[in-house]
Amino acid sequence: MQTNFFRQLTKLNLVGDLQLILRQADENSLVLSVLLNNEQCGDKAKNLILPLNLSGTAEELDNGFFENVSVPLQKASGLMVNMESFMKQLEAAQKQSAMEKEKSDKEKKEKEAKEKKYKDAFQKAEELEKEGNYKGAWSALPKASKYPDYAETIRKKQDEYEKHFAHNLFSQEETPATTINQQP
């Protein structure tokens, strides 16, 4: 006797383990319990899928088995594959989200630290200015190259401090000429 039972099962393209439990109900009828289990699916909701129970005579089960189980088993298989795919994508999204949040937090902390260094240096320069130490104030100013957002403010302060301690050799102002005493 030749059957095509397993060839027809293969055509269903089910993912997972197919469990068939056959039990004699009475003299003429059988109860067949069919359950598809996919261990790859990490979602516990898969456990809510109940087995498909068929009952009838051996002849009825032979004739109507694939007709009654094909669609439900394919739906269950697809559902579990989709649930696993969803779980993997959810994990990837959580990792990505955590990475992005960590990156964002890190950038924010770095920016705040840089901002604090700028403000501290600027405050130190202003304190030295109040003491009349313009060279020290000029040196204490943050470097414009490190703080391009504040470059103009830094340069203005540098120019202001330079007026107090550095004389411009090329300025338009005339300096008083010193006379050298010459003897005849």
The residue segments making up the domain with residue 57 are: 5-93
Q: What is the pLDDT of residue 168?
A: 58
Q: What is the pLDDT of residue 177?
A: 45
| Residue in this structure with the two tokens 């050298």, named with its chain if needed | 180
Least confident range from 17-21, 33-37, 66-70, 170-174: namely: 170-174
**Residue 101 included in any domain:** no
**Residue 56 included in any domain:** yes
**Residue 102 included in any domain:** no
Q: What is the pTM of this model?
A: 0.48
Mean pLDDT of 162-168: 72
**Residue 105 included in any domain:** no
**Residue 104 included in any domain:** no
CA–CA gap between residue 167 and residue 37 (Å, rounded): 88
Tell me: do 77 and 132 sit in the same domain: no
Tell me: do 43 and 82 sit in the same domain: yes
Tell me: do 86 and 45 sit in the same domain: yes
What are the pLDDT digits (tens) for 25-67? 998 999 999 999 998 888 888 888 889 999 999 999 989 999 9
What are the pLDDT digits (tens) for 61-103? 989 999 989 998 999 888 888 888 888 888 888 888 877 888 8
CA–CA gap between residue 17 and residue 41 (Å, rounded): 12
Tell me: do 82 and 117 sit in the same domain: no
Tell me: do 62 and 19 sit in the same domain: yes
